[in-house]
Amino acid sequence: MNQVIQEFWHDPLVQSLITSFLNGEINVATGLIWLAIAIPFAMLGGAIGGVLLAGKDLGVRLAAMIGGLFGPAAVIPATVLGLLALKIG
């Protein structure tokens, strides 16, 4: 198993992906990584917002669950548009 992990990290494709991500280059692969980072934060923010807005009316757990589902609905398109704006500009 350790051999497989070592071979994975020394793969030229993985090395170029890590290098381009750390250099701030925006391409399809790094855009997907940024999107994967943004989605959990969107879910967390949506859950917190749902609890603050509707926690008393719906109950804390239901409000958090609904907010966690609706949070990424706004963040995913904004993230994609932001990454496209950075790539073009």
pLDDT band at 1 (very low <50, low <70, confident <90, very high): confident
Residue found under tokens 């391409």: 27
Domain that holds residue 58: 26-88
Under a CB-based contact definition with an 8 Å cutoff, are residues 49 and 75 in contact? no
Q: What is the pTM for the complete model shown? A: 0.79
Q: Is residue 10 part of a domain?
A: no
Under a CB-based contact definition with an 8 Å cutoff, are residues 44 and 70 in contact? no
Q: Is residue 1 part of a domain?
A: no
Distance separating alpha carbons of residues 8 and 5, to the nearest angstrom: 5
Q: Is residue 51 part of a domain?
A: yes
Q: Is residue 8 part of a domain?
A: no
Q: Is residue 15 part of a domain?
A: no
Which helix (DSSP H) or strand (DSSP E) does residue 25 occupy? none
pLDDT band at 85 (very low <50, low <70, confident <90, very high): very high
Q: Is residue 74 part of a domain?
A: yes
C-alpha radius of gyration, the chain, whole number? 18
Total domains in the fold of the chain: 1
